[in-house]
Amino acid sequence: MGLLTGKTALITGAARGIGKGIALKFAAEGANIAFTDLEENKETEMEIAALGVKAKSYASNAADFAQTEEVVNKVHEEFGSIDILVNNAGITKDGLMMRMTEQQWDAVIAVNLKSAFNFIHAVTPIMMRQKSGSIINMASVVGVHGNAGQSNYAASKAGLIALAKSIGQELGSRGVRANAIAPGFIETAMTAQLSEEIREEWKKKIPLRRGGTVEDIANVATFLASDLSSYVTGQVIQVDGGMNM
């Protein structure tokens, strides 16, 4: 009997990386998994289903309000409930403010922040009727502390933190919790592209002297998704090895 047995999780942007890691961990704990990405991903779907749970991939542009409503309705119809929502979809378009284009700003805000609004808006009536639910926004330490050259990304991630706190206040009386996770330097395919020199400089700034793993994030997400955190809402948990104490 896993921590999430009998629950259905909806995870955005979960075809790869941190989102996929969370999906696999949730499935290992017994949750049925519905996940979205820009295209259906049958390979990841089969990988999750192999853990003995129901899994289904949905093609959806998370930044599109109408598409999101449609997908959430399909998931609810096909799975019967939506107990956990993980807003993980995200992109980066880095640049210094003086060189940043309007398109770079708008794209990051739309995918990272508006998508979370879209999905929370769509699942709220479902979770309110259930009188239970856990919403998890994947933020970032730069959403807490900022970062030069990432004003669009940092603003979107700060928005996700404030959004979780606000939803936690709105829906707490209906048994729905909302929290945010703020990862630090995580070892992913994206960070693997950085030079060894840059990676080592990063690690020197981290008290635990290593980059985080996808599993480190997935473990905290599992805690927030499960009944172990039944009295935790409106919080942001930094998973960064102590980088930003």
Domain boundaries, the chain: 8-238
Tell me which residues are annotated as active site.
Answer: 153
pLDDT in tens, 149-176: 999 999 999 999 999 999 999 999 999 9
List, in sequence order, the alpha helices (H) in the chain: 17-28, 42-49, 65-79, 102-109, 115-130, 141-145, 151-171, 196-204, 214-225
pLDDT in tens, 178-197: 999 999 999 887 777 778 88
Question: What mean pLDDT is predicted for residues 19-28?
Answer: 98
Does the pTM of the predicted model rise above 0.85?
yes
215-220: long-range pairs with CB below 8 Å, 24+: 215/21, 215/25, 216/186, 217/18, 217/21, 217/22, 217/138, 217/181, 217/183, 217/186, 218/18, 218/21, 218/22, 218/24, 218/25, 218/26, 219/25, 220/181
In sequence order, the β-bridge partners of residue 12 are 36
Fold of 8-238: Rossmann fold (3.40.50)
